[in-house]
Amino acid sequence: MTVEPRTTNYEPQTTNSPAVGPERLQGQGLDPHQYESGDRAIHTLLTDATVGPQTDLVITYRDDAYEVWAKRGMIRFERTYAEDGSGYEYRIIEQIGDNPVANQDRRALATIDEELAASKASGFPGIEANTAYIEPEHNTYPFAYERIAQLFDSPNAPDLVVNPKAYAFGRKPGQHGALDVVHARSPLVFSGPGIKQGALIDAPSRQIDIAPTIAHLSGFPLIDGKDVTGRTSSERGVAPDVYLKRQDGHVLDEIIDPGSDARPERVYILLLDGQSNTELKFRLANDPDAIPNLRRLIRNGSMFDYGSLTNFPSITWPSHNAIGTGAWGGHHDIVNPTYYLREKREVVTPQGQQFNTAKFLGDGVETLYEAFHRVFGPWQGQHGAFTASIHEPCTRGADHATLERLVIGDRDRLKELTARHAGDTSPKWLEDDQKGAQGESIVDGRGVAQAIVLYTDEGHPPPKFMFHEFTLTDGVGHDYGPHSDGQRVSLDETDIRVGHILAALEAAGLYDDTLFIITTDHGMAPVDASLKANQVRAVTDAGMKAIIPDPLVYLIDMAVEITRHEDGRTAMIEVLANDADESGERPPLEGAEITLSTHNAKVLARAKTDNGGTCGLPLPLDVAATEMFITVHHDDYNPRHLRLDGTSVREDIRALLYGTR
């Protein structure tokens, strides 16, 4: 029987330990001032005529619990410290209908045939792998409780996150980003010194486990750092037990050869962006002459049969940085390619910006570049750890970092090598008028040139740690689909480039003592592009005020406080922006329109807030307090409807969705 990671218990628990909410609660999730708008948004997303059938889950945090809403049922669950001190446990405290994330089978949908069978069971033809559309009932959500809860640990997290059905996300034939196993499963291979050879591993793994495994194999010392609970070893009352400043993952002991004392001299992560694990396994099993260079590394190492589960959302910038830090996105703070900074009232888009994005990574984590420098010393001439990032979105601390505009190496030689290997680009991209794929292929060719120069330039040591992204497999997976002829051409082309790098390392005498990791930042699911699905748009289409960098929703709400004076004749209304600014205070809202009315909408009084966000209202003595209601309207914020005691007036979402009270 396979033992699940000791850092987390994934089954609902009965422990009486107190709930542990978000680490840095600064507006993420729903607070009492947002219950009205939050419930309205959840209901809209699940029942809108267009978006409702495309939406799988709507997820939030409130009242010390994480909520997962779906048409088929809902749960609220709490996170608690494990009683043995080894991480978190999770317990369900409310359930209506089906638990929408009950199936967390990490082994499910592990082959193309299984994807086709699930598509057929979902009511689709189930004939063509590139259109294997899978409904939620036939999908799974590995490590769902942990992957949901971690997101809300960051102040940058949203109020709501929308999880689309696997096939209903965007307008391209392939997509990723969701919680389910098809979107989130990455291939994972370790190959090199100290690794079992030719092993197919059936063990749970997550992309946050890669960094601590690298650290362990590279001989890092254990330190008094934070584990997944955000507590240092000393705070947990144990000896140093992690390798990184913040280590959410654990060492993948299953790949380590117990009969070998070999230790790698250097580490090379080959990240084939967006490469489907099922597609890679299909090529290995059915096309014995294909991808010889990747096949060689896999044959000389250990491959996880059921892949490795990535960050949630399972999308580029958060997932790359989860691999490079060993910490979930909710802890390294890049929570999405685009997200909203409440305190700055600013939308930032690291993926849109692409260059100079290391500044977005949170201070609470340590990248592998920084860790290699800490352990082996900063790079100085021929001494210390020289580290490199090639086209990789995780960059902080790297000595060579393409996306930070830190390029080391002779420019003329880089140009010469790029030109030498220009023929690696398949003619298919231009024949198909796929200019995006053509451009990505050229970028990958430049990356190979950088790698060869970095490993052969005598002006510095060979990179002690290299993190290298190949972009073509992702772009083609989007444009052609994850199981298309185009995707197979892109993998063949990428394999040729990997071969150039392996040859250069062999020629330099560096191959045998290098640890290679083959992986991706996420999976890739077939998508019904005709839907042009964009679930979050339903929130603003319904007239709600929100920032919606899909799949995240940040509601723009007002905090309203009602003070009823002792004589019962008057009340003071204070209206503030619900999100604090950089000073930590909620700014007052001038010009908010306040209406006092009865239950049958008879208007009793009106007022507007002044520049301090306050106004007064007369309270008629002949109307009971329980019969008076206050409406607050501001053009830039979601409206509020309150009783005189300050509680929100809102429809019962449980009754609306499930007919229960």
Q: What is the pLDDT of residues 67-117, one digit of tens each?
A: 999 999 999 999 999 988 889 999 999 999 999 999 999 999 999 999 999
**CB within 8 Å of 608: residues ≥ 6 apart:** 591, 592, 593, 594, 615
CA dist list (Å): 266 to 212, 406, 514, 520, 562: 15, 21, 5, 20, 63
pLDDT at res. 661: 64
Q: What is the pLDDT of residues 376-424, one digit of tens each?
A: 999 999 999 999 999 999 999 999 999 999 999 999 999 999 999 999 9
Structural domains of the chain ordered from first start = 8-105+140-172+528-555 (no CATH), 183-214+248-313+368-526 (no CATH), 558-658 (2.60.40)
Contact present, 190 and 86 (Cβ < 8 Å): no
* pLDDT surpassing 50 at residue 8: no
- The arithmetic mean of pLDDT across residues 136-165, rounded, is 98
pLDDT at res. 600: 81
- The arithmetic mean of pLDDT across residues 223-229, rounded, is 97
> What gap in Å lies between CA 619 and CA 603, rounded to an integer?
11
**Range name among 9-18, 134-143, 377-386, 542-551 with the lowest pLDDT average:** 9-18
Neighbour order of strands in the sheet with 603-608: 603-608, 593-598, 628-634, 637-643
pLDDT at res. 364: 96
pLDDT at res. 9: 39
pLDDT at res. 79: 97
- The arithmetic mean of pLDDT across residues 300-325, rounded, is 97
pLDDT band at 4 (very low <50, low <70, confident <90, very high): very low
Q: What is the pLDDT of residues 449-458, one digit of tens each?
A: 999 999 999 9
Q: Which residues of 127-149 are buried (b: 16+ CB within 10 A; e: fewer)?
A: eebbbbbbbbebbbbbbbbbbbb
Q: What is the pLDDT of residues 265-282, one digit of tens each?
A: 999 999 999 999 999 999
> What gap in Å lies between CA 79 and CA 228, rounded to an integer?
12
pLDDT at res. 355: 96
pLDDT band at 15 (very low <50, low <70, confident <90, very high): low
pLDDT band at 567 (very low <50, low <70, confident <90, very high): confident
Shortest CA distance to 255 belongs to which of 211, 187, 302? 302
> What gap in Å lies between CA 550 and CA 351, rounded to an integer?
13
Q: What share of the chain has pLDDT > 70, as a percent?
A: 98
Q: Are strands 552-555 and 160-164 parallel, antiparallel or unpaired?
A: antiparallel
The per-residue pLDDT of the chain, averaged, comes to 95
* pLDDT surpassing 50 at residue 3: no
CA dist list (Å): 415 to 284, 393, 400, 418: 34, 23, 17, 5
**Range name among 46-50, 225-229, 618-622 with the lowest pLDDT average:** 618-622
pLDDT at res. 660: 77
> What gap in Å lies between CA 26 and CA 77, rounded to an integer?
20
pTM comes to 0.95
pLDDT band at 27 (very low <50, low <70, confident <90, very high): very high
pLDDT at res. 650: 87
* pLDDT surpassing 60 at residue 6: no
> What gap in Å lies between CA 56 and CA 222, rounded to an integer?
41
**CB within 8 Å of 152: residues ≥ 6 apart:** 22, 28, 29, 61, 66, 330
Main-chain phi, psi angles of 363, to 5 degrees? -70, -15
> What gap in Å lies between CA 38 and CA 339, rounded to an integer?
18
* pLDDT surpassing 60 at residue 637: yes
